[in-house]
Amino acid sequence: MSKAVDASRLRGSIVPLVTPFTPEDEIDEQAVRSLIDWQLDCGSHGISVTGTTGEPSALTLGERETMIRLAVDATAGRAPVLAGCGTNNLKETLHLTRVAERAGADAALVIVPYYNRPTQKGLEAYLCRVADSTSLPVVVYNIPGRTAVNLLPETLARIREASPNVVGVKEAYTDLQQVSEILQVVGRDFLVFSGIEALCFPMLALGGAGHVSATANVLPHEVAHLYDLAQAGRWDEARDLHYRLLPLNLALFLETNPGPVKCVLGWMGKIHSALRLPLVPPQPAVEQRLAAALKDWAIQTPALSGGPGA
């Protein structure tokens, strides 16, 4: 089905927002609004919710609906909202995609269905079915480390040909050759976003459209500035910033995302750092390494036993 879609605003640093919880384990709506205002004031180019960093598998379907509607309302047209709609259940994914469209989201982020380990033909059928159900632009989310299956470039090309509103991919596969093949096979106008923090700069150099980096939760200005520098052709400065960000990019993934990110946001006073089981707060040794990686960023950390806290 041919559809005219406008994906022109989907560029740059689209922050994959955490889902903050109150001490009573409810979504902290006030914190969500505050985080979005702070992100946009700091230069983030877009907001994404209920992706991996938003703990979607720990949210009820109703809570995911709430986060999507809340993000659209709080952003108020100031930047695009990329709504995480994907699950491993087709009916639930279709439902969330309809919710996102009705709420006024700018695009749907649809993860490769996890746990089921479908074939490439199954992935093609699933993602085309979702895309054909909506008038929204669709960004596919390929993250083999979470889904146990890798969406291949040639499969992505067939999906785009069958469903032109599939406009991009959030690529969280560590093989940069695959990124080059996607842009070669699917088309250089296809929007490839880095979903790997340490690969944001390399993907921009290959022709990527931007990044969806968990680090932007902590350093929104700097992560957005990386894209801005690349767009301005200031590659040496962008490369320097890449290496300056690298220690924190790595430290934030010493344990499962978003545990370390929420820990740091808690230190910063932005949120209550609660996670939902089975995720638990980072171990003390990881907290110490996080604090060390934050030393260059003027972010105060608590005094940690044996660590460099402020």
Residues 208-231: tens digit of each pLDDT: 999 999 999 999 999 999 999 999
Please state the φ and ψ torsions of residue 78, each to the nearest 5 degrees. -75, -20
Q: What is the pLDDT of residue 6?
A: 81
The catalytic residue positions are: 141, 170
Whether 306 has a pLDDT exceeding 70, the answer reads: no
Amino acid residing at 46: G
Which residues, 6 or more positions from 54, have their beta carbon under 8 angstroms from its beta carbon?
16, 17, 18, 19, 48, 67, 84, 258
Over range 263-281, report the average pLDDT: 97
The burial class, CB within 10 Å (0-12 / 13-18 / 19+), for 98 is middle
Instruction: Give ∠ CA 173-138-225 in degrees, rounded to 5.
Output: 60
**Domains of the chain, CATH where assigned:** 12-234 (3.20.20.70)
pLDDT tens per residue, range 44-98: 999 999 999 999 999 999 999 999 999 999 999 999 999 999 999 999 999 999 9
Of residues 201 and 307, the one with the higher pLDDT is 201
pLDDT band (50, 70, 90) for residue 8: confident
Residue 263 is encoded by which pair of tokens? 């820990």
- Round the average pLDDT of the chain to a whole number and report it: 95
Confidence of residue 1 (pLDDT cuts 50, 70, 90): very low
Give the span between the Cα atoms of 245 and 252, in whole angstroms. Answer: 11
What is residue 53's predicted lDDT score, i.e. its pLDDT? 97
Q: Mean pLDDT, to the nearest integer, of 269-290? A: 96
Residue 79 CA: distances (Å) to CA of 39, 83, 164, 182, 237: 10, 13, 23, 26, 25
Q: Residue 90: which residues within 8 A CB-CB, separation 6 or more?
A: 113, 126, 129, 130
**Per-residue CA distances from 198 to 26, 56, 119, 250, 252 (Å):** 32, 23, 29, 7, 11
pLDDT band at 296 (very low <50, low <70, confident <90, very high): confident
DSSP string, 152-182: -HHHHHHHHHH-TTEEEEEE--S-HHHHHHH
Q: How confident is the model at residue 304 (pLDDT cuts 50, 70, 90)?
A: confident
CB atoms near residue 115 (< 10 Å): 11
Give the 3-state secondary structure of residue 283.
Answer: coil
User: What is the model's pLDDT at position 263?
Assistant: 98
**Dist. CA 172–CA 192, nearest whole Å:** 10
The pLDDT of residue 297 is above 90 = yes
